[in-house]
Structure 1
Amino acid sequence: MRTKNHKRDFLDYVLYHFDFEDRVAVWILNFIKAHPTIIDYVSFSDMTIDRRLRIAEKTTGRPTLVLEKGSIVTTDGEVILHELNSNDMEPVFLEFVFSTPNKRYDEMKNNGCDSNQSHVYDEMKVLEEQIDTALMNNDRDLFYRLTEELKNRIARER
């Protein structure tokens, strides 16, 4: 998938061109890049995403790693790794803090927005197909459950 490879290429670019105070950041970026499913759910757009992993370049003077999930905030690399690995199919917004503006990162954020919307559209399309199948099979319980799931998904995206 082009998007997956595009994300990996960008993470390689970050790993080779920027220094981080905490080497755990490098370890986590390599983990994300190599994981078979996490990379699919990484976004560089913060549209309605509850999990945010912020990674700051060494010269910014900011904490290298910060994970925000709802009201929980942590800078512990082991906790962050555990969160990513345990919830590998949950969207995560990956935010970089660089000491100077970075054109390539800005492009990824713009592309990430389109990619995230495309991913959401694909998920909704699958739900609609499953609803149609439930209707054809006269499976009321499945129909109602899937319809409710689709309504909730639409509400989250607004």
Structure 2
Amino acid sequence: MELETSIKVEDKKTFINWFLGNYQLKKRESVWILNYLMNHDEVLAHVHFVLEARFCPRAMIISTHCSKDIAFRFYKKHIVTTDADKSFHDLRLHNNEPIYIQLNFKNAKRSLEYMKVLEDNPFIPDDYFLSSKDKEHVDEWLNYSIYHFKKQEILNQINNALDNRDEVLFKKYTEKLSKLEKTYKNKYNK
């Protein structure tokens, strides 16, 4: 699954040139890799700059001195290495395969230059950016929505029983409503 991209090779070259001119990388091999990419359009066409590259099947994470992140990491399927030389050889040998690159540098998420070449990462799990508090709120909302739907359904049945002057159904549904409300209040302290 290669990411379709609207980022032009020329724009990627411009970005890499800007990046190398403004940041010092923790590993000198990272400079070689980026220079190689800048000088090989056919390889650069398969490069995708993304966030959270570790989720990608073939990825590189490159960090600058101003970043607290690891200097270099290469992912290929389930293999992870910090050996930039092996990564460079893989890049050259498999130059038609997509490669996803994450760059760690100070204020990266505020860099207009980086944002211009940054693409969505199709391999990030759907719930990756949800915190446990977010998940808790979603669960609460979902439970309330279900409770509210069931309550509305029972109220409609009570109204129908009243309209039809059916005392038996009226009692049945009011008891059902009472149980539903008690269950919800006990379970969610509402």
Q: CA deviation at 1:43?
A: 0.7
Q: What are structure 2's unaligned runs of at least 5 residues?
A: 1-6, 123-190
| 2:23 pairs with 1:18 | yes
Q: 5+ residue gaps in structure 1?
A: 117-158
C-alpha separation between the residues in 1 aligned to 2:17 and 2:73?
A: 20
- From 58, 64, 85, the equivalent of 2:71 is 64
- Whichever residue aligns with residue 34 of structure 1, its letter is N
Give the corresponding residue for 2:39: 34
Structure 1 runs (4+) greater than 3 angstroms displaced:
45-49
Greater helix percent: which structure?
1
Quick one: distance in 1 between partners of 2:31 and 2:96? 21
In 1, Cα distance between equivalents of 2:71 and 2:39:
21
What amino acid is aligned across from residue 64 of structure 2 in structure 1? Answer: E
Larger of the two Rg values belongs to structure: 2
Tell me the C-alpha RMSD between the 2 structures: 2.2
**Matching residue's letter, 2:85:** E
Aligned length: 111
Alignment partner of 1:103 out of 104, 112, 121? 112
Specify the SS of the correspondent of 2:45.
helix
2:12 aligned partner: 7
Contact 2:9 2:41 in 1 (8 A): no
What are the within-5 Å matches in structure 2 for residues 1-158 of structure 1?
Answer: 3-45=8-50, 49-101=56-108, 102-109=111-118, 112-113=119-120
Q: State percent identity of aligned pairs.
A: 23
- The TM-score normalised by the length of structure 1 is 0.63
